[in-house]
Structures are given as structure tokens and as C-alpha cells.
Amino acid sequence: MICKICGSGAEKKFDVKIMHKYNAEYFYWRKCGFLFAGNPVWLDESYKNAINISDTGIMDRNLHYSRIVSVLIYFMFKKSKKFVDYAGGYGIFTRLMRDIGFDFYRQDIYCENLLARGFEFKPEIHKDVELVTAFEVFEHLVDPMNEIKKMNDITGNLIFSTLLLPDPIPEPGKWWYYGFEHGQHVSFFSSRTLNYIAEKSGLYFYSYKDLHLFSEKKLNLNIFKALILFSKFGLSLYVKKKLKSKIWEDHILLEKK
């Protein structure tokens, strides 16, 4: 099996049952530290519902990342530009970020936009994009390098979340993030994997726990970490007070459509 990240020969790591009925093989290549499902034939069934039923953390996660990202954008990026939430699901994050005051748009070809209608990303129109966000997306990617290139084609700055693959690699049933019961998680990245992708893409890589950043900008890692930490202790409230929410502005705009 060829590694989907670096193109080298990957070795089989384990066999497992997906969704209690599909036989699956998972492969790993130590050069880039990437673990992946070899042939995920179950995905059509797995994605009958775009958001799996066991994702009980969806609201808490979006609120959590809206606080962190608002602080990172305000202090490290051009806050007056446009932003895109890639594979943005129901539009929760896009609506939250617009409520804070950022010009966010949602992109997702697989899930219905329920909460950010009217703010779908249109590449032919929205040219001036400063940053892409992608939360709980990477582990779903069947062809990671191609999908990451699509994100990088929008902009050279990408903030994303994914739990890093532990070392040593957990056995099946020993790590909840595998998600074998729903089958939607098919790619697992180590820090080494993400460093490899950044170097291949000509980008800088910054990481703190489950939050990661590919950027065309050379940034201070300590500031990146500090802003994430301080966002939990009131800094996000400061940012929110400094910006003008788009709630009413969007209401007027959408009334005219």
C-alpha cells in the first residue's frame, strides 16, 4: 500500500471491524508518521448523515474554537479581510464568527448549510481570503494531500484541529479517536506528518495540543501558544468588545435578497 502523504510503501499496522461489519486494513509509514485506512469502502453508508450521531461535542467545540480563533485572527492576521470555514458543516462556526465581527464564509459540499445561509464561500467572488479554518476535518480526508492543496489554493494560512496520533500507536479499541463505530475517521496524523506536509507545501508549521497552523507567514510560536491560552481567560471577550458584530448587518443584507 502506498502512503497517501509521502508516496512511500506503507506497512499494514492492524485489521479491524468498521461499523461492526466492514473488514478494514490500516496502514502506517514511519517516515512521515501517517496512519490511514487502506480502502474505506464503507464511507457512503457512514456519511448517510454528514454529522455522525455520536458527535455530542459539536456545539461546545465550535464555541471553544470561536474564542481561540477570534484571538488569533485579531492579533496575528489581517482582521478586516475575508475568512473561510472549510467543510463547515451546518454553518455553526461561520455564524459564530460573523456574530463576533469577522467576515466569515462557509464551504461544504456534503452538508446542508443551516445556520449561515447566504454566506457560502464562492471562490469566483471571495478573492481576498486571509485565513481558512478546518475543524475536525483532517481525520475525515481520504486523499489528504489533494484536499489540503484545495485549502491552500484559497489562502496560504490554515488553522485546523485534529488529535495527533500517539506514539506508540494505540491498538484498536484503545483510542476513542479512531471512531471505528461510525467509520468517518480514516486518516491520523502525527506531528511528523504535519511537519512533512508543511515543508512539502512551502509553509511554516505551528502546533499546540490539538490546534495547528500552516502559514505562509513566519510567526512566533510562543505568541501563538500564549494567545491560545489567554483566549480562555478573557482575551476573547476583549476582542469581541473591540469588533462590531455582523448580526444586524447580516439581517439587513439577507432581508434584501
Bridge partner list, 9: 2
Query: The C-alpha cell of 257 is what?
Result: 435578497
Quick: pLDDT tens for 189-238.
999 999 999 999 999 999 999 999 999 999 999 999 999 999 999 999 99
pLDDT at 55 over 90: no
Q: What angle do CA 196, 162, 238 make, to 5 degrees?
A: 110
pLDDT for the residue numbered 224: 98
- Strands (E) located in 63-146: 82-86, 103-107, 129-135
What's the angle, vertex CA 65, arms to CA 74 and CA 224, rounded to 5?
Answer: 50
pLDDT one-digit tens code per residue, 63-102: 999 999 999 999 999 999 999 999 999 999 999 999 999 9
Residues 138-179: tens digit of each pLDDT: 999 999 999 999 999 999 999 999 999 999 999 999 999 999
For 239, list phi and psi in degrees, rounded to 5.
Answer: -60, -45
Q: Could you tell me which residues come within 8 angstroms of residue 115 by beta carbon, excluding any fewer than 6 positions away?
A: 90, 91, 92, 94, 95
Number of neighbouring beta carbons within 10 Å of residue 251:
9
In this predicted structure, the answer to whether residue 257 has a pLDDT above a threshold of 80 is: no
C-alpha cell at 216: 505562509
Task: Domains for the chain: give ranges and CATH numbers.
Answer: 47-255 (3.40.50.150)
Is this prediction's pTM over 0.85? yes
The CA-based angle 151-42-142, given to 5 degrees, is: 20
pLDDT band at 57 (very low <50, low <70, confident <90, very high): confident
For 118-133, the pLDDT digits (tens) are 999 999 999 899 999 9
Edge-to-edge strands of the sheet including 187-189? 11-18, 22-29, 34-37, 187-189
Question: Taking Cα atoms as reference points, which of 193, 194, 188, 190 lies closest to residue 206?
Answer: 194
Question: 85 has which bridge partners?
Answer: 106, 133
User: Residue 149 has what pLDDT?
Assistant: 96
Query: What pLDDT, on the 0 to 100 scale, is given for residue 89?
Result: 93
What share of the chain has pLDDT > 90, as a percent?
88
Calculate Rg over the CA atoms of the chain. Answer: 19
Strand partners, 207: 212
Cα–Cα distance between 204 and 252 in angstroms, integer? 40
